[in-house]
Amino acid sequence: MDVAISGASGLIGSALTESLVADGHRVLKLTRGGVTGDDAIGWDPEAGRIDAPGLEGLDAIVHLAGEGIGEKRWSDEQKKKILDSRVRGTAVLAAAVASRERKPRVFVSGSAIGYYGSCGNNVLTEDSPPGTDYLAQVCVAWEAQTKAAIEAGVRTVITRTGIVLDAHGGALAKMLLPFKLGIGGRQGSGKQWMSWVALADEVGAIRHAIDNESVSGPINIVAPNPVTNADFAHALGEALHRPTVLPTPLLPLKVRLGSELVESLLLASQRGKPAQLEATGYEFRYDTLAAALEAILS
């Protein structure tokens, strides 16, 4: 199988690449400003350019590229950059997919559980409506750009991913030091729900989407057992054999990153359910947080 991946150097992309290559598949990485070759396809999403003939006859395209959402304060400029990187990149790829005579069997395009906004205790399936906050609006606009591929008859899957857990990157890697020092704890009230997924299941779910013709449209890539933030903090403390008595002080984070970012990423409540993954037979390697943390931190 020949698979093209954008964002192949990121946390999810690199793990997906490793998994595919280990099973004997060929991975072509979309490289900015690069030249198309045996293992690369050049593109420039900001300029709206891609070497579309390089996509001819591929089995699958997985689109993961986008500006990081939690790295910098959300100035108006940064918020525009986050939105544009997703909208433009997806539009360029979807149009290129639609233009091919020999189209890929499947186009897998990224999104996030933030699509639903903050929803308290409500259980969120793929049929739940979108939220109205900034991240929800980004996700709605992001997903809409797959329209060209869908209209061209390409099976299109949109991955609404939760908090991906891995010791070497993403949210968990940032939490480890304070928790190892015994100063980690709940954030805010701790009652907000966290929809998490182990990196191994993120990769497994994407591969499930590639391989199974029955999977299409949005899928929630989240473990079947979400937890509250307080329960997450307790489980991480247990895994590291450290206390989690004190709540995380949010003021320094708000000063550094801004209130909107902190409230959207740390205090929003999303109780996601992987309804389509379960309906199409995906079996999670790690369906409980304790099992996931034990494997990740061992």
Over pLDDT 70: what percentage of the chain? 99
**In contact, 108 and 6? CB cutoff 8 Å:** no
**In contact, 138 and 82? CB cutoff 8 Å:** yes
* Greatest pairwise CA separation for the chain in angstroms: 60
pLDDT tens, position by position, 25-73: 999 999 987 666 778 999 999 999 999 999 999 999 999 999 999 989 9
At 147, is the pLDDT very low, low, confident or very high (cuts 50, 70, 90)? very high
List all residues 6 or more positions away from 247 whose beta carbon is below 8 Å from its beta carbon. Answer: 185, 186, 187, 188, 190
Average pLDDT, the chain: 96
The predicted pLDDT at position 3 comes to 97
Q: Which domains does the chain have, with CATH numbers?
A: 2-297 (3.40.50.720)
Rounded to an integer, the average pLDDT of 243-248 is 93
**In contact, 222 and 272? CB cutoff 8 Å:** yes
Residue 79, pLDDT above cutoff 80: yes
The predicted pLDDT at position 34 comes to 66
The predicted pLDDT at position 141 comes to 98
Residue 131, pLDDT above cutoff 80: yes
pLDDT tens, position by position, 148-201: 999 999 999 999 999 999 999 999 999 999 999 999 999 999 999 999 999 999
Threshold 0.85, pTM exceeds: yes
pLDDT tens, position by position, 264-286: 999 999 999 999 999 999 999 99
